[in-house]
Structure 1
Amino acid sequence: MERLKNHGAFVAVLRGRNTVVSKDLVVHFLPRGGFDTPDVEGIRPEWRMGLAVSKAVGNAVTRNAVKRRFRVLARTHEGLLPRSCDIVMRARPSAARASFQSLDSQVVRCFGNISRSRKIRDAHGATAKHGTHVNRAVTTTSDTASKREIGA
């Protein structure tokens, strides 16, 4: 897992308007490239994460505790996310009072919803069950005309 390090990266994810919402957190996501797109060094790109915890969540100690919980949960469940995806986990004010188990189940649900998202599948190529690629047949007007002549 890498971090989103600059303001432009955060803004790009937030403006993408792809969100998954739960009781205590909102996860914004933005697909980048394909699953097997090599990075500059020839390594598959990882997903990147940013955290947004506003002052409405609590004082500095509380906000940092929420951020630590989010980092642990994101590392624990990173296998649920597709590679080449940027996410921003935004805490709602109720996240400060939520139990770790509650946040854990919410992160699992949100990350699962992201990986099943149509926007992720469209960005990375549609895949069917068991990771096989789905071929989409495109019928052109000449194919349709020849089918009419044959009587198909």
Structure 2
Amino acid sequence: MLPADARLRRSEEFRAVMRGGARVGRRRLVLHALADYGEHTKAGFVVSKAVGNSVVRHRVTRRLRHLVFDRLGTVPAGTALVVRALPPAATASSVQLGADLDAALRRLGLSQRTRQENGSTV
């Protein structure tokens, strides 16, 4: 589970990230990111009914939450992320979701490996 200070909770927070941030789409998810959001790195999840019934949506959310938690330390402090699941996420494995998440983070320049290759300090 994500720590309380690492969660987006209010619709205004989600709206600010989704409208004001960068966006990268992958097969199973869309990642929205907004830099300089605050002191802590925060994440939120959007899993609509298009993904599946309640059981499927909650399973996808739990998988995504676990994957994002493992990557929070590699994302620059103060970044807000919104992970929006697409319908193919319902049948995807955690490995596939993780690969899509990693690819999206790299594309946005938010993964630790990308920043090290560019000579930035973490």
TM interval, shorter chain, is 0.7 to 0.9
For the 8 Å contact 1:82–1:115, the answer to whether it is kept is no
Whether 1:105 aligns to 2:105 is no
Gaps (5+ residues) in structure 1? 34-38, 40-44, 122-127, 132-152
Per-residue displacement from partner, 1:24-72 (whole Å, max 9, x unpaired)? 0000111116xxxxx7xxxxx2211110000000000000000000000
Whether 1:26 aligns to 2:30 is yes
- Structure 1 residue 109, shift from structure 2 partner: 1.5
Relative to structure 1, the CA distance from residue 17 to residue 116 in structure 2 (aligned partners, 3 Å threshold; closer, same or farther) is: closer
Task: Supply the AA of the counterpart residue of 1:83.
Answer: A
* In 2, Cα distance between equivalents of 1:6 and 1:56: 22
**SS at structure 2 position matched to 1:89:** strand
Match of 2:7?
Answer: 3
Aligned residue among 79, 82, 86 for 2:76: 82
Match of 1:62?
Answer: 56
Aligned residue among 34, 41, 64 for 1:47: 41
Match of 2:89?
Answer: 95
Percent identity, aligned pairs only? 36
The worse-fitting range, judged by mean Cα deviation, of 4-13 and 103-112 is: 103-112
Task: Supply the AA of the counterpart residue of 2:42.
Answer: R
**SS at structure 2 position matched to 1:77:** helix
Which one has more relative contact order, counting CA pairs under 8 Å at least 6 apart?
A: 2
* In 1, Cα distance between equivalents of 2:119 and 2:66: 30
**SS at structure 1 position matched to 2:9:** coil
- Structure 1 residue 130, shift from structure 2 partner: 4.5
- Normalising by structure 1, we get a TM-score of 0.67
**SS at structure 2 position matched to 1:55:** coil
Gaps (5+ residues) in structure 2? none
- Asked which structure has the greater CA Rg, the reply is 1
For the 8 Å contact 2:76–2:110, the answer to whether it is kept is no
Tell me the number of residue pairs that the alignment of Structure 1 and Structure 2 aligns: 112
Per-residue displacement from partner, 1:66-102 (whole Å, max 9, x unpaired)? 0000000001122331110111000000000111111
**SS at structure 2 position matched to 1:4:** coil
